[in-house]
Amino acid sequence: MAILPIAVFGDNVLKQKTKSVQEFDDQLIIDIKNMFETMRNADGLGLAANQVGLNKSMFVMDLQSIEGYEKSKPMVLINPEIILESEETKIIEEGCLSLPALRAEVERPKIIKVRYMDTDENIQEMEADDLFARVILHEYDHLIGKMIPDRVNSEIKKLLKENLKKIEKRELEIDYPITNK
């Protein structure tokens, strides 16, 4: 398996909506394994396919390293669709592998329901709350071309501007491979 370079703020691939996965073949499994390896190498909780240059509507996630989620299983969500969001929201600080060294308070629904396909092409539905829901929503955002700066108010966006420029220009020290400019 391979550790892939992660796209960072400014890379066009992060602004594009991904395409639905149609082929459930050996290449898909290789892509998924590479994504898990890349995510774990960067100490991430989730990784969307377009973050590693794959135009596929899927993401991987693994929350086992988080207290309270040790028994959760690593997951792959293919062609996910958010079908329900609670009106109750929660604001929590988020980070992103495509926004290294940047953190911001993001408001998201506390509870969601997601429909997706698993690697056996079975349609699944799952309800998620708190951190579990947040990671799903964060990664789903990547698949529709959105990132943290798209989810915060203009005041916070202004505060992030300087760091976003540094990320875009690759002026930060990052301990995992990222794409070239």
CATH number assigned to the domain comprising residue 68: 3.90.45.10
| 5 belongs to a structural domain | no
| 174 belongs to a structural domain | no
Residues 6+ positions from 77 with CB-CB distance below 8 Å:
58, 59, 61, 114, 116, 117, 136, 139
Tell me the pLDDT of the chain (181 aa) as tens digits: 899 999 999 999 999 999 999 999 999 999 999 999 999 999 999 999 999 999 999 999 999 999 999 999 999 999 999 999 999 999 999 999 999 989 999 999 999 999 999 999 999 999 999 999 999 999 999 999 999 999 998 888 898 999 999 999 999 889 999 998 7
| 6 belongs to a structural domain | no
β-pair partners for 128:
112
Percent above pLDDT 90 for the chain: 93
Residue with tokens 């060294």: 101
Number of independent structural domains in the chain: 1
| 159 belongs to a structural domain | yes
CB atoms within 10 A of CB 42: 18
| 1 belongs to a structural domain | no
| 180 belongs to a structural domain | no
| 46 belongs to a structural domain | yes
Look at residues 52, 15, 12 and name the one whose alpha carbon lies nearest to residue 176: 52
CB atoms within 10 A of CB 45: 22
Q: Which domain holds residue 137?
A: 12-168
| 7 belongs to a structural domain | no
**Residues designated catalytic:** 139
